[in-house]
Amino acid sequence: MTRRRYRIEHVSSYRYKELAQSSLMLLRLRPRDDGSQRVLKFSLDIDPFAATTQFEDPFGNRCHLFNVHRLHRSTVVHSRVQVESAGDPELPERLGADAWDELAGSVDPVESWQFLQPSQYVRFSSMLKEFTADKGIRRGDDPLVSLLQTCSTLHRVFQYEPGSTAVDSPMDHILETGQGVCQDYTHVMLAIARSWGIPSRYVSGYIHREGAAGEQSLEGASHAWGEFFLPDLGWVGIDPTNDTVADHRFIAVAVGRDYADACPTRGTVLGGGESTLDVKVTVASSDETAPDWSPHREWPNLRTVAPTPREYSHRFDQ
């Protein structure tokens, strides 16, 4: 199996209209080390400078936590990584005749419970039931074939529209409007698969765009897709946004029940007034030249402001 190397730069720049007195941020930016990929180098720069605490969350994601305890008008997080990714997955056209029974017998009801039940952004609703009936989405006689057909259907019936949803938009929003981004497509597919008894988890990461058929995720943005546990295959990545299985183009960073467990950045700021977020992502193969980004920070005239705690997090159409 041919392995490929990629260089990834991810810059998140939070700008505050007023001076912030302090900020706290949780990062999930270091790609996973598993059988399908290997992290060769990873670095993290934070401006204003802050020491980070590293830990592993309950889903096995490598996390960094930091505090900024002084007046600042911006927070810039800049990660750089070199990762080696495996080749395309070797999947059969279909599983065996007893695949559903094998799946039920291989799933531990305790270990898999969190990937089978509704979660914050993955819900079993009457609107989902009506949607699947209207679009002809059903559990067929083979789990893998059913998932791939559902992936293609969602890709066809939904319209990829950056800015049409927010990070906290309920899943019913895309079911009603038909518009969303990768996290919305993924939440719907997870809900359908879980309703069939397939353990399903959310993946955040990156995709190296190569102009393949079906690609519609944004250049310069992070990405999200789903992984589904199948007998004899383990976790299989499937991406309804681009109508494809997760192949050599995909670099996984974090997994969880849904967006809330795997978003790249999440934090709270004290003060600062209105804020804006600018995200720049470059994924370059080893034979490409990545741009040299030098995040610019303006130094304000310091003054005291009234503190107002607010939460903020990363969007996947940025």
Cβ-based neighbours of 12, under 8 Å, separated by 6 or more: 76, 77, 264, 265, 277, 278, 279, 314
Angle at 30 between CA 26 and CA 32, to 5 degrees: 120
Token couple for 89: 């997955």
What CATH number is associated with residue 278? 2.60.40.2250
Q: What is the pLDDT of residues 209-224, one digit of tens each?
A: 998 888 888 888 899 9
The pLDDT value given to residue 301 = 31
Q: Residue 318 falls within a domain, yes or no?
A: no
Q: Give yes or no: residues 272 and 258 share one domain.
A: no
Q: Residue 308 above 50 pLDDT? A: no
At residue 197's C-alpha, the angle toward residues 118 and 95, to 5°, is 145
pLDDT tens per residue, range 291-300: 443 333 332 3
pTM equals: 0.88
Confidence of residue 309 (pLDDT cuts 50, 70, 90): very low
Question: Is residue 280 one of the residues assigned to a domain?
Answer: yes
| Rounded CA separation 53/170 (Å) | 32
In a domain? residue 111: yes
How high is the pLDDT of residue 296? 34
Does 94 reside within a domain?
no
- Does residue 204 lie within any of the structural domains? yes
Q: 206 with 269, same domain?
A: no
- Asked if 200 and 239 count as a contact pair (C-beta separation under 8 A), the reply is no
CATH of the domain at 192: 3.10.620.30
Say yes or no: 128 and 252 in one domain.
yes
Residues 239 and 273 in one domain: no
Total domains present in the chain: 2
Name the residue range of residue 164's domain: 99-262
Are 13 and 34 part of one and the same domain? Answer: yes
Contact call for residues 246 and 238 (beta carbons, < 8 A) = yes
In a domain, 144, yes or no: yes
List all residues 6 or more positions away from 33 whose beta carbon is below 8 Å from its beta carbon: 39
Q: What is the pLDDT of residues 252-286, one digit of tens each?
A: 999 999 999 999 999 999 999 999 999 999 999 97
Same domain, 179 and 157: yes
Q: Are residues 218 and 76 in the same domain?
A: no
Instruction: Give the position of tokens 């849904």.
Output: 258
Same domain flag for 193 and 239: yes
User: Beta strands 62-68 and 52-56: pairing type?
Assistant: antiparallel
Q: What is the 3-state secondary structure (H, E, C) of the chain?
A: CCCEEEEEEEEEEEEEEEEEEEEEEEECCCCCCECCEEEEEEEEEEECCCCEEEEECCCCCEEEEEEECCCEEEEEEEEEEEEEECCCCCCCCCCCCCHHHHHHHHCCCCCCHHHCCCCCCCCCCHHHHHHHHHHCCCCCCCHHHHHHHHHHHHHHHCEECCCCCCCCCCHHHHHHHCEECHHHHHHHHHHHHHHCCCCEEEEEEEECCCCCCCCCCCCCCCEEEEEEEECCCEEEEEECCCCEECCCCEEEEEEECCHHHHCCEEEEEEECCCEEEEEEEEEEECCCCCCCCCCCCCCCCCCCCCCCEEEEECCCCC
Q: Are 83 and 6 in contact (CB under 8 A)?
A: yes
Q: Is residue 93 part of a domain?
A: no
Model confidence over 35-78: pLDDT tens digits?
789 999 999 999 999 999 999 999 999 999 999 999 999 999 99
Q: What is the mean pLDDT of residues 152-167?
A: 93
* Domain co-membership, 124 together with 232: yes
Domain assignment present for 141: yes
Residue with tokens 């609703």: 125
Same domain, 251 and 178: yes
| Sheet with 200-207, side-by-side order of all strands | 244-245, 234-239, 223-230, 200-207, 250-256
Instruction: Kindly state whether residues 26 and 70 are assigned to the same domain.
Output: yes
> How many residues are present in the chain?
318
Q: Do 132 and 53 belong to one domain?
A: no
- Amino acid letter at 30? R
Residue in this structure with the two tokens 């997994």, named with its chain if needed: 255
